[in-house]
Amino acid sequence: MRLSGWRASVALAAITVVASMVRGQNSPPTDNAELARISQEDQDDRKPGLHGIDWAKVKPRDDARLARTRELYASGALRTASDCFHAALILQHSSEADDYLLAHEMSVAAVAQGQKDARWLAAASEDRFLMKIGRKQRFGTQYEPADEPGRYRLAPTEPQVTDELRAVLGTPSLAEAKATASRFDKK
């Protein structure tokens, strides 16, 4: 049996892929250990909660993590869904619109690669980006200080996003988001 030109090419390509996998040349990429470590440090710095964080200590560490994350991204060191998720987690703690946008893109890439934990982060980083450029958030993930000191409220939110879409991205309904703003209040 003789294969036509394109079928022979496809068959040869498939055999090459399978053979290289058998030899172990196409093993899946491994997570970037440095990025996982600095992402964990980022989260550890936030464990005291909003009112217990010593920002004078955390801000310089955040700045160093942001710079290193940008370097790792620029060098092509982000190879897995977890890498994208960890980078997004760090980038969304920036104060720059471009970092929020990149965090959103990294979150979407992580979700596309199967990292379901990144769904909420995709929504939150989009909300942060929109607020930074002077627009209302869409998913209701961001809170701001209320008029009364020590109290918080849901930041202005566009109502067009449905609660069904919010649920897909792991965010609460708009009513739930409004009702839980007090969790950020100073006790």
Report the C-alpha gap between 46 and 90 in whole angstroms. 12
Same domain, 148 and 93: no
Do 125 and 150 fall into the same domain? no
Domain extent, residue 67, equals: 33-132
pLDDT for res 5: 54
Same domain, 41 and 61: yes
Within-domain flag for 84: yes
Number of domains in the chain: 2
pLDDT at 7: 53
Residue 83 corresponds to which tokens in the numbers above? 């890498």
User: 115 with 152, same domain?
Assistant: no
CA neighbor of 129 nearest in space, from 21, 42, 182, 121: 121
pLDDT tens track, the chain, 187 positions: 554 554 545 444 445 444 444 455 578 899 999 999 999 999 999 887 767 788 899 999 999 999 999 999 999 999 999 999 999 999 999 999 999 999 999 999 999 999 999 999 999 999 999 999 999 999 999 998 888 888 888 999 998 999 999 999 999 999 999 888 777 766 6
pLDDT score for 23 = 52
CA gap 117, 119 in Å, rounded:
6
In this structure, the answer to whether residues 37 and 124 fall within a common structural domain is yes
**Do residues 125 and 151 both lie within one domain?**
no
What is the rounded distance in angstroms from the CA atom of residue 89 to the CA atom of residue 72?
14
Question: Is 72 in the same domain as 149?
Answer: no
Whether residue 60 lies inside any domain: the answer is yes
The pLDDT score that the predictor gives to residue 27 is 81
Model pTM score: 0.81
Check whether residue 49 and residue 125 sit in a common domain. Answer: yes
Q: Are residues 120 and 44 part of one domain?
A: yes
Question: Is 137 inside any structural domain?
Answer: no
Structure confidence at residue 55 (pLDDT): 87
Looking at 113, 132, 151, the residue that finishes a domain is 132
pLDDT of residue 102: 97
Q: Are residues 102 and 162 both part of a single domain?
A: no
Is 59 a member of any domain? yes
Question: pLDDT at position 12, please?
Answer: 45
Decide if 38 contacts 69 (C-beta within 8 A).
Answer: yes
Are both 152 and 108 inside the same structural domain? Answer: no
